Amino acid sequence: MAEEKREFQAEVAKLLDIVVHSLYSNKEIFLRELVSNASDACDKLRYESQTQTHLAEGGGEFCIRIQIDKDAGTLTIADNGIGMNHDDLISNLGTIAKSGTAEFMSRLSGDAKKDTSLIGQFGVGFYSAFMVADTVTVFTRKAGETQGWRWESDGKGSFTIAEDDSAERGARMVLNLRDDAKEFLEAHRLRAIIKRYSDHIAIPVMLAEKDKDEETVNSASALWTRSKADITAEQYTEFYHHVAHAFDEPWLTVHYKAEGAIEYTGLLYVPGSKPFDLFQPERKNHLKLYVKRIFITDEAADLLPPYLRFLRGVVDSQDLPLNVSREMLQHNPVLAKIKTGLVKRVLSELKKKAEADAEAYAAFWENFGAVLKEGIYEDFERKTDIVALSRFQTTQAEGWTSLDEVVARMKDGQEAIYYATGDSVANLKKSPQLEGFIAKGVEVLLLTDPIDEFWVPSLGEWNGKKLISVTDGSADLSAVKADEQTEAAKPEAADNASLDTLIAALKLNLGDKVRDVRASDRLTNSAVCLVTDAGQMSLHLEKLLKAHKQVDQDTPRILEINPRHGLIKTMAERVKAGGREAVEDASWLLLDQARIVEGEMPADPVDFARRLASIMEKGIG
Ligand SMILES: Nc1ncnc2c1ncn2[C@@H]1O[C@H](COP(=O)(O)OP(=O)(O)OP(=O)(O)O)[C@@H](O)[C@H]1O
């Protein structure tokens, strides 16, 4: 087969351009990336050969060989792992399959400095080779196949693939180093880099200059099997970078050995920044499962509940059989026990951190709170623990506060914990439904994560106090006293009789577009707001569902009017004098106004514009 030339996927070409041109400050990490890939490739083959022994035959012990050739100016990184065939090469080294790629690409600004730090979080893996090499040639043969291949590229838009009979099982990457990267031909430099970044790699990493003796550079023992006292903070961090394909500092490292009925070792990390795929619909976990130090899979769905999917790391079980198949891992009782243990441990570590350092905990919460809260809804047994770990923004507290603190601040006469749901704290703070609460000094939780719409109703109450939405018609503040000054400053309300007549007129004018019309004591500055009746979907949830096309109809709401507002008082007088027709346009505008404040369209935009124009004309005239 002749040499075949192919273009890189557009995203890869763009990424490569940035990698090469944006002066990566830390070029040496290319070696960590390639060694990490080589180690993954060996892990994969070791696992596959558990059931298909012929695959790993004849390749010797697993190892990674790094060879320096000063005369040729090349650095070679070779492994005897799983290798790649023609199609693997095209899909692995020509495209980016990683989830979150599209989002990541859309965030690249073209500003080298910003992009470099973003790439730092995303990781460029194999492509980082082009930071130091002007051409990269990969010789590879897939385990179990006879045909070898050569892949080559200068990283400028295209690559070639051709058959190659010299390729041995595994992959050999030959980097033709750029003039400004010749430092990576110095053995002492490479030794230091490997020690620094790849010491924890569980298979030997060997280094040699051409025609000289090889030396093993790393410790070659799985990091998690060592005792904690023998592991430095840097080693933990480097292992995190390797296992998570991450580039940030871990926020929390949990390393422990569970002994007793079920034995396993866990080395778990909470990342320091938000991974890109956190809100992918699959909600996959990212733990790597090992059995007696042999890699099994990173797709053991039952190992961790989805609400802890931000964790990275490894779990090494003593109790599962080595030849455990991926199918056997489903509904596996050993795995179920490990999962229970992991959840318990992680939640208790989070609790410790929350108690020890509220500020540091807030950083965690901002990254992963929205994910953890899914557990309140999904994990019946742990929901109380998770609520206790949850933090909230409110109308009163600066920063983040716990639900217990909110309960402790409840006012005399306050029966329930109140909350508001919406898109942003800033908008929520302005919403009319909150006015009465703010006036009476009643604290309200401001909830802006979509998941809040689900866990709050499922929790129902906390410490014996019901959780009630401020847009719920039953939220009643009459028992809470406002301070005297606020009370005295209130404008006079319309009298009851004219208010009743106005309410009757509004009901007739608006017909089935409203569920009810009533006077409200939750408003101070606004004339109207919409609230929901008991059992109705909240306004915010309806908006979310509409955005996802899950509902397409408006649910009629209760229109509450402010009897102390000038507009309401004027309208009440008009009705008395001229009947309901006198306020027909105003009734609709009132309803539309309440809808707009909720972020919704007027019921009929054309009618809305016509009525508004007509009223403005009269007003201006
Ligand atoms: N030495 C190797 N042997 C076999 N396959 C490899 C090797 N190096 C890379 N690959 C394949 O190429 C794919 C892409 O590698 P790359 O380093 O770009 O991304 P990754 O390792 O999946 O993720 P990350 O970008 O986070 O490192 C790998 O997932 C793997 O399938």
288-345 per-position pLDDT tens digit: 999 888 888 888 889 999 999 999 999 999 998 877 777 788 888 999 999 999 999 9
Kindly report, residue by residue over 364-415, the tens digit of the pLDDT. Answer: 999 999 999 999 999 999 999 999 999 999 999 889 999 999 999 999 999 8
Tokens of 512: 């089935």
Numbers of helices and strands, H then E, in the chain: 21, 22
- Residue 590: its pLDDT value, please? 95
Q: What is the dihedral of CA 598, 602, 608, 612, to 10 degrees?
A: 10
Residue 246 DSSP label: -
Q: Whose CA is nearest to atom 10 of ligand 1?
A: 37
Q: Reply yes or no on whether the pLDDT at 534 is more than 80.
A: no
Number of other CB atoms surrounding residue 224 within 10 Å: 25
**Percent of the chain surpassing pLDDT 90:** 61
What class is the 4-219 domain?
alpha beta
**Spans of all domains in the chain:** 4-219, 224-359, 392-485, 491-620
Atom of ligand 1 nearest to the CA of 173: 1
Average pLDDT of the residues in 70-76: 97
pLDDT tier, 151 (very low <50, low <70, confident <90, very high otherwise): very high
Who's near 147: CB < 8 A, 6+ residues apart? 85, 86, 141, 163
Q: Whose CA is nearest to atom 19 of ligand 1?
A: 125
Protein residues whose CB sits closer than 6 Å to any atom of ligand 1: 33, 37-38, 41, 79, 81-84, 92-93, 123, 125-127, 171, 245
- Residue 258: its pLDDT value, please? 95
Nearest Cα neighbor of 81 from 162, 197, 200, 167 is: 167
Q: Is 238 helix (H, G, I), strand (E, B) or coil?
A: helix
Kindly report, residue by residue over 545-561, the tens digit of the pLDDT. Answer: 888 788 777 889 999 99
- Residue 25: its pLDDT value, please? 66
Q: Which of 12, 29, 37, 127 to mutate to test the pocket of ligand 1 (most atoms within 8 A of CB)?
A: 37
Q: Which of 42, 65, 92, 312 to mutate to test the pocket of ligand 1 (most atoms within 8 A of CB)?
A: 92
Pair 433, 485: CB distance under 8 Å: no
Who's near 162: CB < 8 A, 6+ residues apart? 1, 2, 3, 4, 149, 150
- Residue 53: its pLDDT value, please? 84
Kindly report, residue by residue over 346-358, the tens digit of the pLDDT. Answer: 999 999 999 999 9
More confident residue, 87 or 398: 87
DSSP letters for 390-414:
--BEESS-SS-B-HHHHHHTPPTT-
Q: Which of 40, 79, 276 to mutate to test the pocket of ligand 1 (most atoms within 8 A of CB)?
A: 40
Average pLDDT of the residues in 515-541: 88
- Residue 596: its pLDDT value, please? 92
Pair 187, 207: CB distance under 8 Å: yes
Nearest Cα neighbor of 474 from 425, 424, 518, 514 is: 518
Q: Reply yes or no on whether the pLDDT at 23 is more than 60.
A: no
Pair 82, 45: CB distance under 8 Å: yes
Distance 126 CA to ligand 1 centre (A): 6
| Secondary structure percentages of the chain, helix, strand, coil, to 5 | 45, 20, 35
Kindly report, residue by residue over 176-227, the tens digit of the pLDDT. Answer: 999 999 999 999 999 999 988 888 888 999 999 998 999 999 988 889 999 9
In CATH, 491-620 is 1.10.150.120: no
- Residue 190: its pLDDT value, please? 96
- Residue 293: its pLDDT value, please? 83
Nearest Cα neighbor of 143 from 62, 233, 198 is: 62
Distance 33 CA to ligand 1 centre (A): 9
Distance 83 CA to ligand 1 centre (A): 10
Tokens of 437: 């609460």
Q: Is 222 helix (H, G, I), strand (E, B) or coil?
A: coil
Average pLDDT of the residues in 135-160: 96
- Which residues make up each annotated binding site for ATP? 33, 37, 79, 84, 92, 98-100, 121-126, 326
Pick the CATH number of 224-359 from 3.30.450.20, 3.40.640.10, 3.30.230.80, 3.40.50.720: 3.30.230.80
- Averaged pLDDT of the chain: 90
Number of other CB atoms surrounding residue 467 within 10 Å: 18
Who's near 194: CB < 8 A, 6+ residues apart? 31, 35, 66, 205, 207, 217, 218
Tokens of 538: 């909240």
- Residue 530: its pLDDT value, please? 92
Kindly report, residue by residue over 441-477, the tens digit of the pLDDT. Answer: 999 999 999 899 999 989 999 999 999 999 888 788 8
Atom of ligand 1 nearest to the CA of 77: 1
- Residue 276: its pLDDT value, please? 79
What class is the 392-485 domain?
alpha beta
